[in-house]
Amino acid sequence: MEAKIEKLDNLGRGITYINNKICFVNNALPNEIVEIKLEQEHKKYIEATLVEIKEESPFRIIEECPYSNICGGCQLNHLCYNEENRYKRNKIKSLLYKYANIEEDKVDHIKYEDRNYYRNKITLHGKDGKLGLYGKKSKDIIPIQECILVNNKINETIKWLSMNNINITEAIIKTSNDESELMVSIKGEVSRVDELKRKCNVLIINGEYLSKDKRIETTISNNKYEESINSFFQVNKTLTESLYDEVKNTIKDNNINTALDLYCGTGTITIYISDYCNKIIGIDNNPSNIKDANINKQLNNKENIEFICDNVENKIDKFKEIDLIVIDPPRSGLDKKTREYLRIIKPKIIIYVSCDPLTLSRDLNELKTDYNIIKVKPFNMFPRTYHCESIVVLERK
């Protein structure tokens, strides 16, 4: 069946219409004429596969990755980088307008840097002697020797583990942003362990530390951070500093007495902006995050910071007279109680760091009753995927 692709959806899939029903086509681009095969028809939509491109988009590029359309990691390998960035900015503009009635001119230009080799972390899966990434829409293992998203040190480690895999079921590999430090956690069996120990600053096999150190250290601007294997840390080694600078530059000229950093992770943003607050409190429910956050507080000689290990919704009703609240929640966004208490506490400024524009739109639609949306700044923290980060600045009416 021949069809014309109208646009891309929020997941980077091409959209066409078959008998007035929306049809999703992976790997297709807007304005392309394509041959498709209908795979599955649902009540409200159809799924189809791309068979042949009859008329190609000028924005289509040759896919560099040998695992494109096999592994489930990337959705936009076939789209040129300038058009990828335009797509992501327009997606945020469209969703915020559709679900929160936020004018499109509030959305600033998108910030982006390296498209390749930008990640400082990867998780590999293994089974039956294979080690790699999950396949698209499956738990099948796609063996890989390299991933163009991760840095050189991680790729070297992937190759080494693949050559020495006895029965690895999972391998988490992390590096510092400058690639000077390496952390590897393995479940299963690997050969030449002594050689691997010499390569790693931190090595964990089946939950046992085989190294003296238990954390790696990385630097963002003038701040040092330690992270352990189970702690959250931004994966984009080149763009994280720009993201944090956007938060810092937004608040540095304000007279901030007390601030909250909700979902604070290892305290990265908390520490980054602490010089501009008399006191700042970070809250996160991951004990590993908070343990690292307290280490990082001492590492950077910060005495005006307090970290609390708990769910945000369990603590949010304990605060009042807060000038600034920074929010960096998971993809699910804010729970109902937290949204309610943000409006009760009414800080002068809210800075919302979001990795999902859909849940962001839902939350902003409620918050904008009491707050003006000053600016939305997109960041392409996850090139080649449909994901996009953004920072929203809200000021109390």
Report how many domains make up the chain. 3
Is it the case that residue 364 has pLDDT exceeding 90?
yes
pLDDT score at 138? 87
Nearby residues of 245 by Cβ (< 8 Å), 6 or more positions away:
221
pLDDT tens digits, one per residue of 159-184: 999 999 999 999 999 999 999 999 99
Q: Partners of 327 in the beta sheet?
A: 262, 352
Instruction: Decide which of 186, 218, 250 is a domain's last residue.
Output: 218
Amino acid at 131: L
Q: Are residues 24 and 99 in the same domain?
A: no
Which strands sit side by side in the sheet containing 130-134, from one edge to the other? 141-143, 130-134, 121-127, 165-175, 182-190, 202-205, 208-209
Residues 330-355, mean pLDDT to the nearest whole number: 96
Task: Locate 239 and state its tokens.
Answer: 């763009």
Domain that holds residue 238: 85-114+232-396
Amino acid at 78: H
pLDDT over threshold 90, residue 137: no
Residue 77 included in any domain: no
Rounded distance between C-alpha atoms, residue 252 and residue 221, angstroms: 16
Q: Could you tell me if 186 and 229 are in contact, meaning their C-beta atoms sit under 8 angstroms apart?
A: no
Residue 136: band (very low, low, confident or very high) from pLDDT cuts 50, 70, 90: confident
- Residue-wise burial string across 384-395, b where 16 or more C-beta atoms lie within 10 A, e elsewhere: bbbbbbbbbbbe
Predicted confidence (pLDDT) per residue in 242-300, tens digit:
999 999 999 999 999 999 999 999 999 999 999 999 999 999 999 999 999 999 999 99
Instruction: Work out the average pLDDT over 6-20.
Output: 96
Among 190, 218, 246, the domain boundary falls at: 218
Q: Are 344 and 371 members of one domain?
A: yes
Average pLDDT of 385-389? 97
pLDDT band at 43 (very low <50, low <70, confident <90, very high): very high
CATH number (domain holding residue 241):
3.40.50.150
Q: Is residue 368 part of a domain?
A: yes
Mean pLDDT computed over every residue of the chain: 96
16, 131: one domain: no
Q: Which of 90, 119, 115 is nearest to 104 (CA)?
A: 90
Looking at the fold, whether 212 and 132 belong to one and the same domain comes out as yes
Provide φ and ψ at 345, rounded to 5°.
-65, -40
The reply to whether 270 and 390 lie within a common domain is: yes
Q: Stretch 211-235: mean pLDDT, rounded?
A: 96
Same domain for 48 and 31: yes
Residues 146 and 294 in one domain: no
Does residue 306 carry a pLDDT above 90?
yes
CATH of the domain at 189: 2.40.50.1070
